Amino acid sequence: MKILNTALHCRKEVEALKKKGKTVGLVPTMGSLHQGHLSLVEAAKKKCHTVFMTIFVNPTQFGPGEDFERYPRDLDRDAALAEKKGVDFLFCPEVGELYREGYSTYVEVEGITDVMCGRYRPGHFRGVATVVLKLFNIIPAHRAFFGEKDYQQLVVIKRMAADLDIDIEITGCPTVREEDGLALSSRNRYLDPRQRENAVEIYRALKKAGEAILGGEEDLKKISRQAIEILEKNPYIKKVDYFDIRDPGSLMELDRPGRGGQVLIAAAAWIGETRLIDNVVISKKK
């Protein structure tokens, strides 16, 4: 595995690979790698000859008071994991390599960034869209791989890629979970054992809501309201930011489930000082 620190080096490697007719897969991450990230590498290796991973804790997607400073960073451990999994190139730039003096350009995806996490983290998806576009320009891969755990992020990136005529296929990969169902997240490290034990309740509430819909419950507002009530009764869950039932393509809120198709159930909740998100997509049979 080759470690790269500059955009210029990345571009040269990609150019050389393309000249040789190799396809390139891109796995953008913020490091602190877990099996979720590694499953993206696996997917990339299946679809592409060469896999680039990026590790960059992107300051522009953190709001004031968020966990940019304390976000876990361990490049040596991450590089070892990436190499073992078969990553070919690891791009881990300094902040100054991506945001130079006088930096002033941002990508806004409107509408779908106003809801869910966008409502609670203003500017977050602007930072995500901006850095992902930059990474796409630095590593013009054939395909890029993102986890479905960050479902809204995936929808935003797909929208951006379609709108801006970006010639990279965006691939979503299933959420990887612990044995009890907790979605893997770098932020799970913030949890103490009791918090960790209770964090899985978010996933349980999502599953339960999904079962209610599949069981024929039509009042989706009621399902959300009840889920929030139950979650907020748990003493380890400080606050539920949202528990939403939406169309998985447009992220439009659903009042009643359609006759068929898919339904997204997504939640964000605070376990102490840790904000966790999770979602499930259920398929209604026609």
Extended strands (E) in 56-103: 89-91
Among the options 9, 34, 37, 142, which is catalytic?
A: 37
Residues 244-273, mask of contacts with a copy of itself (x by CB under 8 A) = ------x-----------------------
Measured from the CB atom, the residue of 11 and 208 that comes closer to a copy of itself is 11
How far is 159 from 166, CA to CA, in rounded Å? 10
Please check whether residue 143 is in contact with residue 44, taking contact to mean a CB–CB distance below 8 angstroms: yes
211-220 long-range Cβ contacts below 8 angstroms, 24+ apart: 213/245, 213/257, 213/263, 213/265, 213/282, 213/284, 214/282, 214/284, 218/256, 218/257, 219/256, 220/245, 220/254, 220/255, 220/256, 220/257
Tell me which DSSP letter residue 139 carries. Answer: S
| 159 binds a copy of itself per the rule CB under 8 A | yes
Which region, judged by CB under 8 A, interacts with a copy of itself, from 38-46, 57-65, 156-164, 208-216? 156-164
Sites for a copy of itself among residues 211-250 (CB under 8 A): 250
Q: What tokens appear for 3 in the block?
A: 């470690």
Q: What tokens appear for 103 in the block?
A: 């930096």
Single residue of 106, 180, 194, 252 touching a copy of itself by CB under 8 A: 106
Measured from the CB atom, the residue of 98 and 280 that comes closer to a copy of itself is 98
| 112 binds a copy of itself per the rule CB under 8 A | yes
| 162 binds a copy of itself per the rule CB under 8 A | yes
Sites for a copy of itself among residues 38-97 (CB under 8 A): none
Token look-up 């990887």 returns 176
| 111 binds a copy of itself per the rule CB under 8 A | yes
Which region, judged by CB under 8 A, interacts with a copy of itself, from 55-63, 105-113, 195-203, 264-272? 105-113
How far is 83 from 79, CA to CA, in rounded Å? 6
Angle at which helices 35-47 and 75-85 cross, to 10°: 40
The distance of closest approach from Cβ of residue 19 to a copy of itself in the complex, given in angstroms and rounded to an integer, is 9
How far is 93 from 56, CA to CA, in rounded Å? 7
In the annotation, is 37 catalytic? yes
| Residue 134 CA, distance from chain mean position | 17
| 165 binds a copy of itself per the rule CB under 8 A | yes
Measured from the CB atom, the residue of 83 and 169 that comes closer to a copy of itself is 169
Which region, judged by CB under 8 A, interacts with a copy of itself, from 56-64, 100-108, 204-212, 237-245? 100-108
Handedness of CA 149, 86, 46, 25 (dihedral sign): positive
- Binding residues for a copy of itself, how many (CB under 8 A)? 31
Sheet containing 2-4: order of strands: 2-4, 89-91, 50-55, 24-29, 143-147, 169-173
Which region, judged by CB under 8 A, interacts with a copy of itself, from 29-37, 65-73, 127-135, 193-201? 127-135
Single residue of 138, 212, 269, 276 touching a copy of itself by CB under 8 A: 138
The footprint of a copy of itself (CB under 8 A) covers 7, 11, 98, 100, 102-112, 129-130, 133-134, 137-138, 140, 159-160, 162-167, 250
Q: Show which residues are catalytic.
A: 37
